[in-house]
């Protein structure tokens, strides 16, 4: 098993006829993901990459029984694409678009309330279940099937940790990039809860960074649930200056909040193993597994 995606996922791509959508759809197809259609308004009835193209998500779902979408739509229209997927009751939507306006994401968040859609992103590298499906833009070179679940706020660190785990003989169940924007869909806490409920996930890695309260919320969940699976966390940005955004829009320490020290202390107090630095995450998990 895995979480969110698997070999049976049927995926459409919103924006598939664009350059980025076309390129990454080909990569996902090559990996073995069941890509079933594309969606581009005004291009319905055509074919691209030997897949049918539809005008709307609802039409694509009706024709293909799709249960997931990946969104390659420019920032100005990305919120509209996410809301379209939500209103069509698409079970899973993954948005990789960066720099979606925050006020647009507030509208998306409102649309998600009470909906049937799980949103990953925006500003996410996507989801990877090694050997089964890739719904995202991440490298798959070092990924191997196994029992370690990863939820991450950082795309580049995810690739590093996956390589460390594989080198240590530890494959991955699913890797989820929650996204680096201040307002987004699924968070570290929700991923942690999903991994704890997945019988084939034997260990969990949380990759955090400065900004937001996601790590603290995950720590509160761990305190309440008292996981029997080992959980390892890495929180980066300890030397970041205050009041300055560091890469991601959500990576920001301000007003005395969002720093690494409080996050690490909350996670450690919840019984979570803390990796001392980015190069030792795989080794920390190997030791935690015992």
Which tens digits make up the pLDDT trace of 136-192? 999 999 999 999 999 999 999 999 999 999 999 999 999 999 998 999 999 999 999
What number of helices (H) and strands (E) belong to the chain?
9, 14
Q: For the chain, what's the residue count? A: 290
209, 251 Cβ separation under 8 angstroms: yes
Tokens representing 56 are 């709307």
What is the number of domains present in the chain? 2
Largest CA distance in the chain: 56
Tokens representing 252 are 């920001």
**221/214 Cα distance (integer angstroms):** 11
Tokens representing 233 are 């966390």
Backbone CA torsion sign across 196, 188, 22, 92: positive
Residue 19 lies in a domain: yes
Range 92-106 average pLDDT: 97
Residue 251 in this model has a pLDDT that exceeds 60:
no
Same domain, 20 and 80: yes
**283/189 Cα distance (integer angstroms):** 23
Range 46-74 average pLDDT: 98
Q: Where residue 264 falls among pLDDT bands split at 50, 70, 90?
A: very high
Same domain, 112 and 156: no
Same domain, 96 and 164: no
Which tens digits make up the pLDDT trace of 228-244? 999 999 999 776 556 55
Range 102-125 average pLDDT: 97
pLDDT at 243: 53
Residue 252 in this model has a pLDDT that exceeds 80:
no
Tokens representing 244 are 């300055």
**267/220 Cα distance (integer angstroms):** 8
Residue 59 is part of which domain span? 10-120
Which positions are annotated as active-site residues? 248
Q: Which of 145, 135, 100 is nearest to 12 (CA)?
A: 135
CATH of the domain at 205: 3.40.50.261
Residue 255 in this model has a pLDDT that exceeds 50:
no
Same domain, 270 and 223: yes
CATH of the domain at 98: 3.40.50.720
Residue 110 lies in a domain: yes
């Amino acid at each position: 098993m895995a979480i969110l995606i698997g070999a049976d996922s049927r995926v459409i791509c919103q924006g598939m006829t664009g350059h980025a959508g076309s390129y990454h759809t080909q990569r996902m197809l090559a990996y073995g993901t069941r890509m079933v259609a594309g969606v581009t308004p005004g291009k319905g009835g055509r074919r691209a990459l030997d897949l049918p193209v539809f005008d709307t998500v609802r039409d694509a779902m009706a024709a293909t029984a799709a249960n997931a979408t990946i969104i390659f739509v420019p920032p100005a229209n990305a919120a509209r694409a996410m809301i379209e997927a939500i209103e069509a009751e698409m079970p899973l939507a993954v948005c990789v678009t960066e720099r979606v306006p925050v006020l647009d994401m507030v509208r998306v968040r409102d649309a998600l309330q009470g909906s049937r859609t799980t949103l990953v992103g925006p500003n996410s590298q996507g989801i990877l279940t090694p050997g089964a499906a890739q719904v995202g833009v991440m490298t798959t070179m070092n990924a191997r099937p196994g029992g370690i679940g990863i939820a991450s706020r950082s795309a580049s660190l995810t690739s590093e940790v996956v390589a460390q785990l594989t080198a240590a003989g530890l494959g991955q169940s699913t890797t989820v990039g929650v996204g680096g924007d201040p307002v987004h869909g699924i968070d570290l806490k929700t991923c942690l809860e999903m991994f704890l409920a997945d019988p084939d996930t034997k260990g969990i890695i949380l990759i955090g960074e400065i900004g937001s309260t996601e790590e603290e919320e995950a720590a509160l969940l761990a305190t309440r649930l008292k996981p029997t699976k080992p959980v390892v966390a890495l929180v980066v940005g300890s030397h970041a200056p205050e009041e300055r955004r560091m890469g991601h829009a959500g990576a920001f320490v301000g007003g005395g909040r969002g720093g690494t020290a409080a996050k690490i202390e909350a996670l450690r107090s919840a019984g979570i193993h803390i990796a001392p630095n980015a190069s030792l995450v795989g080794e920390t998990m190997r030791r935690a597994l015992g």
